[in-house]
Amino acid sequence: MDIFSFTGYYTARIIYYGVSLESQSPQRWIVGVTGASGIRYAIRLIDALVDLEIETHAVFSDSAIRVLRDEEGLAISSSNLSAASLLNKESKSVTFYNSKDIGALIASGSAKMSGMVIIPCSMNTLGAIATGVHSHLVHRAADVTMKEARPLILVPRESPLSAIHLENMLKLSRLGVQIVPAMPGFYHRPKEIKDLIDMMVMKVLDAMKISNELTSRWQGS
């Protein structure tokens, strides 16, 4: 064996071990929340991740904080966001970041994360990610997730959609970003708004490859 194939052999083994160790490490997800309608989807997702005891790093943009107040009547500031204030339960598995803290753990690719979900994803944030022009920590963490080739899942919400919105989604989809629009199905015969939220959050957990049964699945007609 010459020196090059010898070095190649050990490099391959190190990469092999690196990948296998990384894939065995516990899940650590970033949840970005932006100022689109449907903040309730984000609350339900974080609540489900807390129940599943999955390490979660959550960041709300300033607009998300505003929509939290407008839609849910929750007057929470980014400095007092916590599991208790958002979910009415205590949890050590979720950490909240200020969206202005661009030096936070999740701003660096060296922090090992499983991936990131942005739920709901505003058209502003969709455009920022598609162009790489950042205004806050949600955008930076998404950019890092893409550059590190980790799963990025967007849950966009707007209606109707302009050609710019559609082009941004297509561009990101072609780059490997998963677009899971906030469009719940009705085939599970929802009776309450909660049933629609659960259907959507189940789709998001499925995209994250996290096993769950938030609501009933289609069994065939």
Ligand X SMILES: Cc1cc2nc3c(=O)[nH]c(=O)nc-3n(C[C@H](O)[C@H](O)[C@H](O)COP(=O)(O)O)c2cc1C
The contact set with ligand X (CB under 6 A) reads 34-37, 61, 63-64, 66-67, 70, 122-125, 157-158
Helix (H) or strand (E) holding 216: none
Q: Omega before 120 cis (within 30°)? A: yes
CB 176 → ligand X: shortest distance, Å? Answer: 21
At 174 the three-state DSSP class reads: helix
Shortest distance in whole angstroms from residue 157 CB to ligand X:
4
**Dihedral angle over CA of 88, 78, 63, 131, nearest 10:** -120
- Identify whether 160 is preceded by a cis peptide bond (ω within 30 of 0): yes
For ligand X, the closer of residues 114 and 125 by Cβ is 125
Q: Which residue, among 197, 193, 104, has the nearest Cα to 96 in the 3D structure? A: 104
Q: Which is nearer to ligand X, 54 or 197 (CB)?
A: 197
Query: Nearest to residue 202, comparing CAs of 214, 190, 191, 211?
Result: 214
- How many CA atoms, within 13 angstroms, populate the side-chain half-sphere of residue 8? 5
Return the structure tokens found at 43: 């609350």
**Minimum CB distance to ligand X smaller for 32 or for 54:** 32
Q: How far is the CB of 124 from ligand X (least distance, A)?
A: 4
Number of residue whose CB is nearest ligand X: 35
For ligand X, the closer CB: 35 or 54 = 35
Q: Which is nearer to ligand X, 22 or 71 (CB)?
A: 71
Rounded to a whole number of angstroms, the minimum distance from the CB of residue 190 to ligand X is 20
Min separation Cβ 34 and ligand X, Å: 3
CA atoms within 13 A on the CB side of 62: 4
